[in-house]
């Protein structure tokens, strides 16, 4: 796809927008698609050529709530929407934190924010309603974010096997299990060093989140080492929540769960993604729906607050099958249900299984998402955090739902730009929020496992320098 501009430099915006209509587009090739946008004064004009056909649209900067950037995107959106028959539920928005952005619009425009979101950004009314609910539900967690608080994230980037849709930085233990013990050694070392940084800055830790990967791929003894190190070096005095991702049911045992419980873990994730065994096989989960129910029962017996992840738009899944998944999961009455929409990056193996996966039926995914939202609402769940990703089927979203008073604290805080997150482990990114939340800096750990094993001291020192020179934290 080729993009030509005159009077504007919004090429990146238009590339992101184009991916809503043509997932996986290559913007350096001549593939019969051509978008030209011209800006003169307050008027933007788009001409979109698709093969032999041409589609035209114009947009004007109409009032104080509008901008030339939005006009450029609106006319391009209208032209490509006419050409394809596709509309996006989130309109022009391609960024990850739509609810957060709506919150900033409300601060700036007050009661006019809804009109701006609808008329200028072309966001659908039901998605605006969703943002309104999330802004209300998240209030209590956001109020915890004082300038002397932080959260801690520990990365365990290993899984039993790699799911076909996954693009996270994770290693299959079948191939790289030999790294587990040395990885835990280095993680224990980094825990001690990072705890010292937190003490030096006199920060209070509100939440601890151990994610991955699948942390419960570790043995009982390895989990005990990590959590014991955390207990030894970090204070539990202000902690509100300790979460461990136990996403793969085939990694969960009673012994591991008891170990987690003994160390104060009060929230875990047990994730089927779907209750359709045939779909589980297609996506390479290597477990059955029965395995999920067995693992969930073990976790429920230990009185964990349980989150369950499900995905709309999985390959070969049907609406009827997805409906059964939502109903089946809700019947267990988990504290949290996280509804994802299939998100496919180039690194995901699903491309080799189904090269057309990224062009899956967005209308079907939207129907699935709509059903889940309505059903969970009927069951008393409230949406509490939302994020979106490029290349999501149908340009839909990922939403965390919670029973009243049971929202995941860390999930809210990580989506906000109001709290420092100290991150440990390979591929983890520390986020430092400065005074008044006006400046944020991120320092990432190396992703490669072997590099991480060799460079822990270096990565800790980089964060020490950042914190030493940062002045007052948020």
Domain match, 207 and 275 both:
yes
pLDDT value at residue 141: 84
Helix (H) or strand (E) holding 86: none
Domain match, 68 and 180 both:
no
Which residues are CB-contacts of 100 (< 8 A; sequence separation ≥ 6)? 415, 416, 417
Domain match, 156 and 245 both:
yes
pLDDT in tens, the chain (474 residues): 999 999 999 999 999 999 889 987 889 888 999 999 999 999 999 999 999 999 999 999 988 778 999 999 999 999 999 999 999 999 999 888 899 999 999 999 998 999 999 999 999 999 999 999 999 999 888 888 777 889 999 999 998 877 777 765 555 665 566 889 999 999 999 999 999 999 988 999 999 999 988 999 999 999 999 999 999 999 999 999 999 999 899 999 999 999 999 999 999 999 999 999 999 999 888 899 999 999 999 999 999 999 999 999 999 999 999 999 999 999 999 999 999 999 865 444 444 444 444 444 788 999 999 999 999 999 999 999 999 887 788 889 999 999 999 999 999 988 888 889 999 999 999 998 887 667 888 999 999 898 999 999 998 888 888 877 665 665
pLDDT value at residue 462: 87
Residue 226 lies in a domain: yes
The alpha carbon dihedral of 105, 153, 400, 92 has a sign of: positive
Domain match, 180 and 232 both:
yes
Instruction: Determine the Cα–Cα distance for residues 346 and 333; give it in Å rounded to an integer.
Output: 35
Tally Cβ neighbours within 10 Å of residue 136. 12
Residue 432 lies in a domain: no
Domain match, 15 and 51 both:
yes
Instruction: Say if strands 440-444 and 429-433 run parallel, antiparallel, or are unpaired.
Output: antiparallel
CB 184 within 8 A of CB 157: no
CB 90 within 8 A of CB 388: yes
Domain match, 288 and 188 both:
yes
Instruction: Determine the Cα–Cα distance for residues 30 and 51; give it in Å rounded to an integer.
Output: 11
Instruction: Say if strands 149-156 and 420-424 run parallel, antiparallel, or are unpaired.
Output: parallel
Residue 7 lies in a domain: yes
Domain match, 259 and 146 both:
yes
Residue 445 lies in a domain: no
pLDDT value at residue 174: 54
Residue 68 lies in a domain: yes
Domain match, 40 and 144 both:
no
Domain match, 96 and 146 both:
no
| Domain count of the fold of the chain | 3
**Whole-number Cα distances in Å, 418 to 141, 186, 434:** 11, 29, 9
What is this structure's pTM? Answer: 0.91
CATH of residue 274: 3.20.20
CATH of residue 68: 3.30.160
Residue 355 lies in a domain: no
Instruction: Determine the Cα–Cα distance for residues 474 and 468; give it in Å rounded to an integer.
Output: 14
- Of 86, 119, 151, the residue that ends a domain is 86
Instruction: Determine the Cα–Cα distance for residues 327 and 308; give it in Å rounded to an integer.
Output: 12
Say if residue 213 is preceded by a cis peptide, omega within 30 of 0: yes
**Helices and strands: H and E segment counts in the chain:** 17, 17
Domain match, 155 and 77 both:
no
Question: DSSP alpha helices (H): ranges in 284-355?
Answer: 289-301, 319-330, 350-353
Domain match, 127 and 190 both:
no
Residue 98 lies in a domain: yes
Angle between helices 11-21 and 68-84 (to 10 degrees): 30
Which range of residues forms the domain containing residue 71? Answer: 1-86
Domain match, 129 and 148 both:
no
Instruction: Determine the Cα–Cα distance for residues 93 and 73; give it in Å rounded to an integer.
Output: 10
Residue 205 lies in a domain: yes
Which residues are CB-contacts of 355 (< 8 A; sequence separation ≥ 6)? none
């Amino acid at each position: 796809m080729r993009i030509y501009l005159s009077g504007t430099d919004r090429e990146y915006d238009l590339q992101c927008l184009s991916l809503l209509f043509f997932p996986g587009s290559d913007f350096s090739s001549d593939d019969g698609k051509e978008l030209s946008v011209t800006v003169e004064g307050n008027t933007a004009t788009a001409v979109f050529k698709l093969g032999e056909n041409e589609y035209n649209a114009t947009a004007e900067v109409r009032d104080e709530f509008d901008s030339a950037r939005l006009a450029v995107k609106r006319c391009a959106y209208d032209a490509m929407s006419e050409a394809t028959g596709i509309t996006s539920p989130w309109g022009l928005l391609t960024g990850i934190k739509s609810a957060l952005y709506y919150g900033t619009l409300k601060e700036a425009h007050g009661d006019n924010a809804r009109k701006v979101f609808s008329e200028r950004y072309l966001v659908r009314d039901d998605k605006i309603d969703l943002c309104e609910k999330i802004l209300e539900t998240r209030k209590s967690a956001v109020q915890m974010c004082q300038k002397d608080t932080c959260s801690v994230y520990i990365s365990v980037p290993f899984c039993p096997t790699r799911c076909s849709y996954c693009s996270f930085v994770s290693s299959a233990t079948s191939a790289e299990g030999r790294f587990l013990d040395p990885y835990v050694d280095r993680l224990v070392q980094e825990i001690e060093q990072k705890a010292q940084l937190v003490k030096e800055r006199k920060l209070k830790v509100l939440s601890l989140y151990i994610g991955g990967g699948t942390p419960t791929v570790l043995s009982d003894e390895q989990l005990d080492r990590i959590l014991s190190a955390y207990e030894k070096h970090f204070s539990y005095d202000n902690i509100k929540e300790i979460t461990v991702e136990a996403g793969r049911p085939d990694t969960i045992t009673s012994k591991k769960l008891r170990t987690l419980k003994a160390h104060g873990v009060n929230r875990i994730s047990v994730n089927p993604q779907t209750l359709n065994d045939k779909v589980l096989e297609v996506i390479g989960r290597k477990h059955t729906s029965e395995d999920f129910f067995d693992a969930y029962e073990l976790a429920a017996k230990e009185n964990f607050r349980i989150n369950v992840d499900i995905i709309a738009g999985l390959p070969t899944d049907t609406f009827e099958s997805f409906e059964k998944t939502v109903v089946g999961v809700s019947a267990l009455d988990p504290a949290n249900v996280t509804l994802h929409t299939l998100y496919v990056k180039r690194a995901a193996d699903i491309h080799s299984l189904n090269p057309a996966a990224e062009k899956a039926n967005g209308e079907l995914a939207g129907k699935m998402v709509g059903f889940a939202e309505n059903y969970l609402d009927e069951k008393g769940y409230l949406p509490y955090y939302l994020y979106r990703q490029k290349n999501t089927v149908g340009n839909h979203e990922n939403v965390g739902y919670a029973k009243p008073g049971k929202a995941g604290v860390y999930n809210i805080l990580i989506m906000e730009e109001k709290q420092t997150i100290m991150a440990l482990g390979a591929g983890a990114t520390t986020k430092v929020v400065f005074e008044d939340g006006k400046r944020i800096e991120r320092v990432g750990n190396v992703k490669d496992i072997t590099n991480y094993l060799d460079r822990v001291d270096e990565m800790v020192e980089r964060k020490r320098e950042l914190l030493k020179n940062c002045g007052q934290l948020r």
